[in-house]
Amino acid sequence: MQNKIRSTIVLSCFSFVAVAQTNVDSLLKLANTGNVSAQMAVGDIYYSGNGAQQRFEDALKWYEKAAKAGNADAACNLGYMYENAQGVKRDNFEAIKWYRISAGTGNARCQCNLGNMYEQGRGTNQDYTEALKWYKKSAEGKYEFGYLNVGRIYEAGLGVPKNDAEALNWFKKGAEAKNIMSIGKLGWIYEHGLAVDPDTVTAVEYYKKAAEANDAIGQNNLGRMYFFGFGGLKKDPVEAVKWFTKSGESGNVLAQYLMGQILENGVGDVKQNFHDAAHWYEHAAEQGHVNANYRLGVLFEFGKGATQNFKRAVEHYTIAAEKGNPNAAGSLGRILYEGRDGVTQDKIKGLEWLKKASDAGIKEFQDYISQKVK
């Protein structure tokens, strides 16, 4: 649940009104006279593609004109584009410069973005105290992500003593501001009894609100509650898969791995499907999930869901083994020690990996060494 909040960009309301009332050419003429609102509107049009072809380079140009004329939203959007390499080479130093300018005017959104830069140490030294200061300023401006991020700082104890009660307080404020991630956080707090008595029924209520609002973490947690039958829910693997799928499609790596596990093994009315399991493991592995690499190695080694391919198996086992997965180390060692189609035998390296698995207490590979290694 320790998700990191990225900076955000918000387009001005003026741009959408302007596009409905006039055409881009008229706005461009007005912007070229130095009208700051028109410059911001043109930037929004090119950024969003609402009214003209999306062109980040042009959006950047007009935001910069408006920002230099003192428009705080334009300065914030300019910082966001430098931070995220939109229409320009990524430059965190330039990003934080514009964030500071905008945040200094009291722009709550940009105060939150600036806090994020300090939290992550981008464009500046990592400084949790400074991050919290700006998150709190953002929250004082009633910005929904400001509440959320203050809560996260206390939840994780970043630069301050871990304080579940304080985190709960800020997440409640975020939920009142309709911040979906704060609502999901409340579910986690009630499920695990952090500063409150454990209450899985209430946790499910919060997870449902977050999940139905398309929050990937909320969807994953709701899927988990259905899978295990927690919070007064009937155990329902099919319903769990529905929510894990939604979460995984939104990029949640835990949901992607769980989908792989469920489909590899088959659970209840969810039939075993090695091909689809490999699909989800691939997505999780792309995001660095070590166990997903290990499971892909197994599927390729034994030809489950794909043509048997020892070379691909070795590739995935190696990634997982180098990141500390002892089962992957043993499986890699066994293939190298014996040699396989497409994999050159290498008893020395194979034994090295087998010993790592054995030293980690994996009995299968302890037995292998005692029986096979001469």
pLDDT tens digits, 47-98: 999 889 999 999 999 999 999 999 999 999 999 999 999 999 999 999 999 9
pLDDT in tens, 184-218: 999 999 999 999 999 999 999 999 999 999 999 99
Alpha-carbon distance 70 to 34, whole Å? Answer: 12
pLDDT in tens, 254-283: 999 999 999 999 999 999 999 999 999 999
Chain centroid to CA 371: 45
Residue 20 has pLDDT above 80, yes or no: no
How does 220-245 read in b/e, with b if 16+ C-beta sit within 10 Å? Answer: bbbbbbbbeebbebeebbebbbbbbb
Residue type at position 365: F
Tokens found for residue 21: 């009332």
128 touches 120 (CB < 8 A) = no
355 touches 320 (CB < 8 A) = no
Nearest of 161, 212, 160, 209 to residue 185 by alpha carbon: 209
**Which pLDDT score, from 0 to 100, does residue 51 have?**
87
3-state helix, strand, coil in the chain (%, to 5): 70, 0, 30
Question: Residue 270's beta-bridge partner residues?
Answer: 267
pLDDT in tens, 291-343: 999 999 999 999 999 899 999 999 999 999 999 999 999 999 999 999 999 99
